[in-house]
């Protein structure tokens, strides 16, 4: 009956759609990838292999005023040096990254928008970082892949680096850890062996002073 053939048609169309989805490469990353900047240890070398590692560098200010925008350049030198890409991340959620030419934003991170051609043995990615409005020291992570332009993950290799940036007065804004400074949780009351009430009292004047300042 009509109902039956309709159902069959729908099922057939579903199979076609699934087949089409299956045809796209599982890891098409030449148009950018996040999670491989080195911030969470993983870099492009999870997949890219066989090439010679480049040297990489992040150029730009290591101190910024609170809320200021800093201009940075991620430089890849050497390796296969035909085309390349990059993954950039920052370990502070209050900071934000802005993509320059040849880059795009992926979540909170930056990556290449397509493989970029080297100029000689060098490839540069310009981007900016907007600093948080608070005193903090943050880390900018970057991994750069030097590729042979064969549109495969072989014959390429990445290297990673990081840059520490002191925003305002930076961290730690150490609240004196007292005699119990073997503990690197840095004044977290719960983890400290000092009585909680003592820490709370010690923290009180600081809190008040900070409120008044702002």
Closer by beta carbon to ligand HEC, 74 or else 168:
74
Yes or no: say if 172 and 136 are a contact pair by the CB < 8 Å rule.
no
Share of the chain residues as helix, strand and coil, in percent rounded to the nearest 5: 20, 35, 40
Cis peptide before 172 (omega within 30 of 0): yes
The CB-of-86 to ligand HEC minimum distance in angstroms stands at 5
Closer by beta carbon to ligand HEC, 24 or else 214:
24
Burial of 136 (0-12, 13-18, 19+ CB in 10 A): buried
Q: Which among 197, 75, 199, 194 has a CA at the least distance from the CA of 127?
A: 75
Residue 142 belongs to what H/E stretch? strand 136-147
Chain positions contacting ligand HEC, by CB under 6 A: 25, 27-30, 33, 36, 44, 46-48, 83-87, 112, 115, 143, 145, 147-153, 156, 158
Closer by beta carbon to ligand HEC, 115 or else 132:
115
The CB-of-11 to ligand HEC minimum distance in angstroms stands at 32
Closer by beta carbon to ligand HEC, 85 or else 132:
85
d(CA 167, CA 129): 11
Closer by beta carbon to ligand HEC, 81 or else 131:
81
Closer by beta carbon to ligand HEC, 155 or else 168:
155
The CB-of-44 to ligand HEC minimum distance in angstroms stands at 3
Residue 67: which residues within 8 A CB-CB, separation 6 or more? 130, 131, 132, 133
The CB-of-131 to ligand HEC minimum distance in angstroms stands at 23
The CB-of-22 to ligand HEC minimum distance in angstroms stands at 16
d(CA 124, CA 82): 13
The CB-of-56 to ligand HEC minimum distance in angstroms stands at 10
């Amino acid at each position: 009956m009509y109902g039956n053939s309709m159902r069959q048609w729908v099922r057939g169309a579903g199979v076609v759609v699934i087949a089409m989805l299956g045809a796209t490469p599982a890891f098409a990353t030449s148009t950018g990838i996040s999670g491989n900047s080195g911030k969470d240890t993983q870099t492009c070398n999870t997949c890219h292999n066989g090439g010679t590692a480049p040297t990489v560098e992040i150029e730009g200010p290591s101190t910024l005023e609170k809320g200021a925008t800093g201009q940075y350049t991620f430089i890849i030198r050497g390796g296969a040096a035909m085309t390349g890409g990059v993954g950039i991340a920052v370990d502070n959620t209050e900071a934000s990254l802005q993509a320059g030419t040849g880059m795009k934003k992926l979540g909170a991170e930056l990556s290449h928008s397509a493989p970029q051609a080297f100029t000689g043995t060098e490839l540069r990615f310009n981007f900016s970082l907007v600093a948080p409005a608070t005193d903090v020291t943050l880390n900018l992570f970057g991994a750069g892949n030097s590729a042979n332009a064969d549109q495969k993950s072989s014959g390429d290799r990445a290297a990673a680096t990081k840059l520490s940036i002191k925003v305002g007065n930076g961290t730690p804004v150490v609240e004196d850890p007292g005699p119990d400074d073997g503990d690197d949780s840095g004044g977290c009351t719960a983890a400290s062996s000092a009585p909680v009430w003592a820490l709370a009292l010690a923290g009180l004047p600081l809190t008040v002073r900070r409120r008044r300042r702002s």
